[in-house]
Structure 1
Amino acid sequence: MTVLTIFFCGTGSNKFDVTHENFWDGELVSTLAANHAGREFAEWIVVDGPGSGNLQADDLFTKTKEYGLTGTLFGKGWDENVQHAVNIIKGKCSWRREQLTEQEYNRLKAAGIPIEDVKVEGSWLWRKYNYGERSVTQQTLQEQIIKTFRKDGVIPTQVNLVGWSRGGISCHMLANAMLNDPQLNHIPVNIFALDPVPGIGNFQDQRVRLGANVKEYVAFYARDERSKGFSCVIPQTAVGTKTSIYPMAGRHATMAGNATAAGGVPTSSSDLKTFIEPGRVVRHFAETCLKRWGVQLNKTLNLSEADLLRLTGAIASDEARYKLMHKVSYTYFTELDQGERYVSLGSKGVQFSAVKGSIYAPATGLTTSVLELAAYKHLR
């Protein structure tokens, strides 16, 4: 039995954000991935978010290109990210980076490895450089890790998905891609999503609906986000899917570990830790769910009931300060919110507080009080 966990970073975020300057104790998704105690590729992978600079391009199991600003603005590249994840689940790549990059060539040369000299092609005006071929590709090595260390066959017996922002939407996309794949549609899927936001024009069914292969869906939503174009998705789940949704104080990045007063770039060293409580609470429950879903983690918070009471009490005490966030926007413009965030329930736009009912556990949904610790019993 192999439980595979796939971590999807948000827009502009990557696996190295465990030390990002905007996050006082690391961005949550990359931190959870770094703390996974299993073997990378066989038991877990982390996927960089759209617009993050293609740092993983050479290692992906599917070919991609540099999307630049269109990745940040429109999510370009997340389809390739999802296909990469599908290929990782199957343990078989659809593309290999066979040609050396300039950086790899220089590193091998400096190490004294016997490789051919760089080939210069074309005229002086249109000069191109060929740095040679890899004898063994990254994809080949990773396929072998998967083959060797997955127990009882290459196809995992369970897949857990964790994602923030467009990474949360990528979780939806991958779950649906698995449902439509005859090799993968039998695999049970669990999802932990942090404020899944698709961006303008990205509310297609594969991003806002989930099928019966998703056994449990847990998500936290930023109550105080008001940026134009940051409408989050509460997906329409299948009958039988255990669905738990919770509001959390702060903006889109607050629950992911950005503890600044405005939910963005720190204005000072002291501002870096202004609102640490939402990130602590969400991280604790993410770790709780992952451990319940069969994941071994290092460096977990293991918060006690007293710890949670202290953190949620501090959030409630700072209510007025969180409301100041409503005037700040990542996109310059704020929503005409009529007092609360506008969200997408499936593909239908509704007010934040309208998302509740017996299909959720707890039934209070996005109206749940942060002080109501009993509401989190479903996650333990």
Structure 2
Amino acid sequence: MTALTIFFCGTGSTKFDSQNPTYWNGELVSTLASHHGGREFAEWVVIDGPGTSNLQADELFTQSKDYGLSGTLFGKGWGENVQHAINIIKGKCDWEREKLTETEYNRLKAAGIPIEDVIVEGSWMWRKYNYGDRSVTQQKLQEQIIKTFRKDGIIPTKVNLVGWSRGGISCHMLANAMFKDSALKNIPVNIFAIDPVPGIGNFQEDKVKLNTNVKEYVGFYARDERSKGFSCVIPQTATGTRTHIYPMPGRHGTLVGNAAADGVSGPKALAEPGRIVRHFAEVCLQRWGVRLNKPLNLTQADLDNLRKTMVNDEAKYRLMHKYSYTYFTELDQGERYVSLGSKGVNFSAVKGTIYTPTTGLTTSVLDGAAYRSIC
């Protein structure tokens, strides 16, 4: 039996953000991926977010391209990310990078590997360089890893999804794509989403609604985000899906480890929300069958102290309301505007018996009992 965990980075974020100084102790999604105790590709994979110039393009199991600014603004490229994830689940690529890049060619030449000299084509004004073919592609190597290390067959018996920002929405998209695929429809899916934000014009059904293959949904939402165009999604889940949603003080980036006072840049000032979200992400992943290295293992006393500190810092979190990633702030009547499924509502309206706890996004940070259902 194999539990496959797929980590979706947010817009502009990559697998290397575990070392990004913007996050005082590493960005959450990339850090969790780096701490996975299993075999990469067979048991876990991390996928860079839209707007990252597609640094992973040579390794994807489906062909993609650099969408540049349109990736940052509109999420272009996340469709290919989802298809790549589908192919990883199935253990079969639909595209391979067969040509060597200039970097690979120079590295092999410098190592003394006997390869053909670069071929120069075209006139001097329109010169092109052909660096030759790979003898074995990255995709074929990764396919072999999957075949070797997945137990009891290629198709995993469980899929766990973790994502932040558009990476959180990518979790929704992948779960729905799996439900539509006859080979993957019956695989149970668990989702841990951190402030899933699709961006303006991206509230289609596959991003805001989930099907019966999602067995558990855990979402943490940034209470103090006010950027225009940053409405987060609380998805419409199916009957029978265990759905847990929690508010957390701070801005969009605060929840994944940005501890700056403005949620963008600066010294460590408000680290508590990021630590709490990371702790519960680790708790959920371990409960879902994931082996993690270096978990925080916070005690109840640790959590109580973090919660008390957040309450004492309430005035600092309120100051975050004047900042915006998009220059404009929402006209919010004192609350963040969110998307409940496809319907826009105020933050505090999201509660009810379909959620555990029933207090939903009105849950007090001091209510330690509210988290027992995900422990």
TM-score range normalised by the length of the shorter chain: over 0.9
Distance 1:52 1:23 in 2: 17
Distance 2:63 2:201 in 1: 25
Distance 1:66 1:52 in 2: 8
What is the letter of the counterpart of residue 43 of structure 2?
A: E
Please name the residue that 1:15 is paired with. Answer: 15
Residue-by-residue CA offset, 1:149-199 (whole Å, 9 max, x unaligned): 000000000000000000000000000000000000010000000000000
Pairwise CA distance, 1:54: 1.0
Give the total of aligned pairs: 375
Farther off after superposition, 118-127 or 352-361: 118-127
Give the 3-state SS of the residue equivalent to 2:217 in structure 1.
strand
- Which structure 2 residues correspond to residues 193-272 of structure 1 after superposition, within 5 A? 193-266=193-266, 271=267
The question of 1:310 aligning with 2:329 is answered no
What is the letter of the counterpart of residue 292 of structure 1?
A: R
The question of 1:339 aligning with 2:338 is answered no
Residue-by-residue CA offset, 1:60-103 (whole Å, 9 max, x unaligned): 00000000110000000000000000000000000000000000
Where does structure 1 lack aligned partners over 5 or more consecutive residues?
none
Where does structure 2 lack aligned partners over 5 or more consecutive residues?
none
Distance 2:124 2:331 in 1: 56
The question of 1:369 aligning with 2:352 is answered no
Give the 3-state SS of the residue equivalent to 1:132 in structure 2.
coil
Distance 1:7 1:154 in 2: 19
TM-score, normalised with respect to structure 1: 0.98
Pairwise CA distance, 1:116: 0.5
The question of 1:329 aligning with 2:324 is answered yes
Residue-by-residue CA offset, 1:81-132 (whole Å, 9 max, x unaligned): 0000000000000000000000000000000001100011111111110000
Please name the residue that 1:172 is paired with. Answer: 172
Please name the residue that 2:344 is paired with. Answer: 349
What is the letter of the counterpart of residue 94 of structure 1?
A: D
Distance 1:175 1:297 in 2: 23
Give the 3-state SS of the residue equivalent to 2:109 in structure 1.
helix
- Which structure 2 residues correspond to residues 283-322 of structure 1 after superposition, within 5 A? 283-322=278-317
Distance 1:118 1:5 in 2: 40
Pairwise CA distance, 1:265: 1.9
Please name the residue that 1:68 is paired with. Answer: 68
Distance 1:157 1:300 in 2: 24
User: Sequence identity of aligned pairs in percent?
Assistant: 76
CA RMSD of aligned residues (A): 0.4
- Which structure 2 residues correspond to residues 39-118 of structure 1 after superposition, within 5 A? 39-118=39-118
Please name the residue that 2:271 is paired with. Answer: 276
TM-score, normalised with respect to structure 2: 1.00
Give the 3-state SS of the residue equivalent to 2:161 in structure 1.
strand
Residue-by-residue CA offset, 1:5-27 (whole Å, 9 max, x unaligned): 00000000000001112001000
Residue-by-residue CA offset, 1:208-231 (whole Å, 9 max, x unaligned): 000000000000000000000000
Pairwise CA distance, 1:52: 1.1
Distance 1:162 1:100 in 2: 32
Distance 2:163 2:281 in 1: 11
Pairwise CA distance, 1:56: 0.5
Give the 3-state SS of the residue equivalent to 1:191 in structure 2.
strand
Pairwise CA distance, 1:249: 0.3
Pairwise CA distance, 1:53: 1.9
Distance 2:275 2:153 in 1: 37
Please name the residue that 1:123 is paired with. Answer: 123
Pairwise CA distance, 1:321: 0.8
